[in-house]
């Protein structure tokens, strides 16, 4: 297709302009974060920082437990992802590779809860976690994110396409279900597992409403909640806010630069067709 008509080139040029505009807010965030305050409020605004400063970054890193927030986010997202994967694999297996009474009905029940967001349950979850004396702990944040049917759903989509003959062959060799799952299904399902890991990790990394309610002390905050606290304290100071936002965006950006294609491919797999 390429080379024959001038269209792809024109399209590419137009797209490049659009993409630059699209990422301009990010540029503006990074630029504001390193501008001295007078430059931030200069009129007309300056595109590039004239005298870049680390002051705002310094404030965020020294007056706030920013590193701790990052750590908290990593812990919460890792725990959510790991536990989700662990509980989803065997469930997806029995929903695809075995046939039993009530299977489809039960799956439909799980499925219909798939789109029910965490947000509608924050009040009862708050009561529940309070009773368990878990408020302001990691488990309070990640436990409610684990029973999400999306995990089963994603894996199931993949498992059904693995030929049944493989199971049968393994069974003839005397393998039980656990072995089939471990030695036959999982090795063939790496892309689906990667997709699930990416999906759950970004989901947990970005969760906001419930984390905000469940966590109360700044040392326990995850990054999104920490940023909100930053906003509460520096409503007036966009240099500090943008420095904080830049720092919070940085891990995602770095990871994305390295894993760009695998992340996009992983996300693609979550498509529902």
Partner 1 sequence: MLRHPRLVSTAEIALFLLPFAAFWILFRLGPVLYGFYISLFRWDLLGEVTFIGLGNYATLARDPRFWNALRNTLGFAALAIPLIVGIGLLLALFVFGVRHSRAGRWLEAGFFFPYLLTVSVVGLIWRWMMDPDFGVLLIVLRSLGLGAPPFLNEPRWVIPALALTTAWWLAGYRMVLFRAALEDIPDELYEAARLDGASGARIFLSIVLPLLRPAVLFALVLTTISGFIVFGQVLIMTAGGPGRASEVLALYLYRYGFEFLQMGQAAAVGVVLFVIILGLTLLSFRWLGYESHL
Partner 2 sequence: MGWTGDGEQGATMTRRAFLHGAAALTAAAAVGSVRLPPALAQPRVMTLDYYTLFHSGDAAAMERIVRAFNAAHQTVRLNLLQGQWAEYYAQLFAAVGAGNAPHIGICHTSRILDVWRALTPLDESRAGNLLDAAGIRGRDYTKTVWDAGVHQGRRYLVPLDSHMWGLWYNKDIFRRAGLDPDRPPETREEFERACEAIRTRANTLAFHPAEDALPRKIRRAWEILFWGQGGSLLTPDGRRAAFNEERGLRALDYLAGMIRRGWNQPGTDGFKQFAAGQLGMLLAGNWYLPTAKDSNVNFGFHYVPRFFDRPTTWGDSHNLVIPRQRPERTSNEMLVAAIRAIKWINEHSDIWGVYGGHIPAFVPAQRAKDLLESDSWKLALSKFTDMANRGYVHYPLIHERAPQVHSAIEPYVQEAYNGRLAPRDALARAEAEVNRVLSS
CB of 123 to partner 1, least distance (A): 4
If the CB atoms of residues 143 and 263 are measured against partner 2, the closer one turns out to be 143
Site for partner 2 in 204-233 (CB under 8 A): 212-213, 216-218, 229, 232-233
Is residue 166 near partner 2 by the rule CB under 8 A?
Answer: no
What is the per-residue binding string for partner 2 in 89-108, x denoting contact by CB under 8 A? -x------------------
Residues 88-105 as b/e (b if ≥16 CB within 10 A, e otherwise) read: bbebbbbbbbeeeeeeee
Question: Which residue in this structure is represented by tokens 């680390």?
Answer: 54
The binder of 187, among partner 2, partner 1, none, by C-beta within 5 to 8 A per type, is: none
Is residue 121 near partner 2 by the rule CB under 8 A?
Answer: no
Cα distance from N-terminal residue to C-terminal residue, the chain = 27
CB of 258 to partner 1, least distance (A): 12
Is residue 133 near partner 2 by the rule CB under 8 A?
Answer: yes
If the CB atoms of residues 6 and 174 are measured against partner 2, the closer one turns out to be 174
Cβ-defined contacts of 164-172 (< 8 Å, 24+):
164/97, 167/97
Is residue 187 near partner 2 by the rule CB under 8 A?
Answer: no
Is residue 183 near partner 2 by the rule CB under 8 A?
Answer: yes
Is residue 159 near partner 2 by the rule CB under 8 A?
Answer: no
If the CB atoms of residues 83 and 106 are measured against partner 2, the closer one turns out to be 83
Conformational region of residue 102, where left means phi above 0, alpha means psi within -120 to 50, and beta covers everything else? left
Contact residue for partner 2 among 7, 22, 41, 256 (CB under 8 A): 41
CB of 88 to partner 1, least distance (A): 6
State the DSSP string of 75-131: HHHHHHHHHHHHHHHHHHHHHHT---TTHHHHHHHHHHTTT--GGGGHHHHHHHHHH
CB of 176 to partner 1, least distance (A): 7
Contact 168, 102 (CB under 8 A): no
Q: What are the residue ranges of helices labelled H in 113-221?
A: 122-131, 138-146, 150-159, 164-172, 177-179, 186-188, 190-206, 209-214
Residues near partner 2 (CB under 8 A) are: 37-38, 41, 63, 79, 83, 86-87, 90, 126, 130-139, 142-143, 170, 173-179, 183, 212-213, 216-218, 229, 232-237
């Amino acid at each position: 297709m390429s080379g024959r008509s001038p269209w792809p080139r024109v399209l590419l040029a137009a797209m490049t302009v659009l993409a630059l505009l699209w990422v301009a807010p990010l540029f503006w965030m990074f630029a504001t974060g390193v501008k001295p305050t007078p430059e931030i409020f200069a009129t007309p605004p300056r595109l590039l920082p004239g005298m870049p400063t680390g002051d705002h970054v310094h404030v965020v890193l020294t007056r706030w437990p920013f590193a701790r927030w990052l750590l908290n986010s990593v812990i919460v997202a890792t725990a959510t992802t790991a536990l989700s994967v662990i509980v989803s694999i065997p469930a997806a297996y029995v929903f695809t590779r075995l046939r039993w009474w009530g299977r489809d009905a039960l799956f439909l029940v799980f499925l219909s809860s798939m789109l029910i967001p965490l947000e509608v349950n924050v009040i009862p979850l708050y009561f529940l976690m309070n009773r368990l004396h878990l408020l302001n702990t990691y488990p309070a944040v990640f436990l409610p994110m684990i029973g999400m049917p999306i995990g089963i759903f994603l894996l199931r989509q993949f498992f059904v396409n693995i030929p049944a003959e493989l199971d049968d062959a393994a069974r003839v060799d005397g393998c039980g279900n656990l072995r089939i799952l471990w030695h036959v299904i999982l090795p063939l399902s790496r892309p689906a597992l990667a997709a699930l890991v990416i999906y759950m990790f970004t989901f947990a990394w970005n969760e906001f409403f419930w984390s905000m309610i469940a966590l109360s002390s700044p040392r326990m905050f995850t990054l999104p909640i920490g940023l909100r606290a930053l906003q509460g304290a520096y409503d007036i100071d966009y240099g500090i806010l943008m420095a904080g936002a830049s720092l919070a965006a940085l891990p995602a950006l770095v990871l994305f630069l390295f894993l760009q294609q695998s992340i996009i491919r992983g996300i693609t797999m979550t498509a529902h067709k």
